Amino acid sequence: MKTVLIAGCGYVGSALARRLLAAGYRVLGLKRRPAGLPEGVIPVCCDLADREALRAVLPPAVDSVVLSLAASSSGEEAYEAAYDVALGNLVDALGARSEPPARILFTSSTSVHAQSSGEWVDESSPAEPTHYTGAIMRRAEARVLAAAGPSREAIVLRLGGIYGPGRTRLVEMVRRGEATLTAAPLYTNRIHRDDCAGAIHHLLELERPASLYLGTDAEPA
């Protein structure tokens, strides 16, 4: 039975956990508190900002680690806390293990791409963010990819804007008559929560994966 540690077992991480459990995986969920973890997930509770506590609670051996962290708010400090400090501490702690995981996957964001003129973007496109959110995510990507080695694969999955159950803000704005349309077409890249989970599951099982993937719906919206 393969063991997967999901760090940040929240909106996407919980959907992934349920999917992996159904597929026969042993799943550990790393959160500050166990509340909200899906049934069957083994809780690993720690504040990722606490390096010593993190090293103490990490399980001795896991096959794969999914870094599905989320900032506590949209502010720059919150992003730095999640993707510079917390992610960095976890990557360092995993690298110090006598049996490091064979595969690490980080759910990044398509916000690292600043293209906005209607051009198509793929894995070969430049990622030169102009906003702090994308810049911080790029640093996190580099940190994860630098952890790859002869016996450890590192994967970055850049996800579009995530929608799904419970995320109905735009729909509610339309219902209240508060949503507005611009004169020119405005395109966004989106992906459903369950498709996020499916993509991560696929990449955990894929032989010889690439180091970078984009995860979005087949067409812009």
Per-residue pLDDT for 57 more than 90?
A: yes
From the list 120, 111, 116, the residue with the least C-alpha distance to 141 is 111
- What is residue 218's predicted lDDT score, i.e. its pLDDT? 83
Q: Residues with Cβ < 8 Å from 103, sequence gap 6 or more?
A: 63, 64, 65, 152, 153, 154, 155, 204, 209
Contact 42, 1 (CB under 8 A): no
CA distance 151 to 46: 27
201: left (phi over 0), alpha (psi -120 to 50) or beta: alpha
Please provide the size of the chain in residues: 221
Residue type, 145: L
**pLDDT tens-digit map of 91-146:** 999 999 888 899 999 999 999 999 888 888 999 999 999 999 999 999 999 999 99
**Structural fold of domain 3-215:** Rossmann fold (3.40.50)
Nearest residue to 138 via CA among 103, 109, 116 = 109
The single-letter code of the amino acid at 137 is M
Answering whether pTM is above 0.85, one says yes
Going from N- to C-terminal start, the domains of the chain cover: 3-215
Per-residue pLDDT of 150-184, as tens digits, reads 889 999 999 999 999 998 887 788 889 887 777 67
Residue position matching structure tokens 């917390």: 86
Q: Residue 26 pLDDT more than 90?
A: yes
Position 219 scores a pLDDT of 78
| 6 residue type, one letter | I
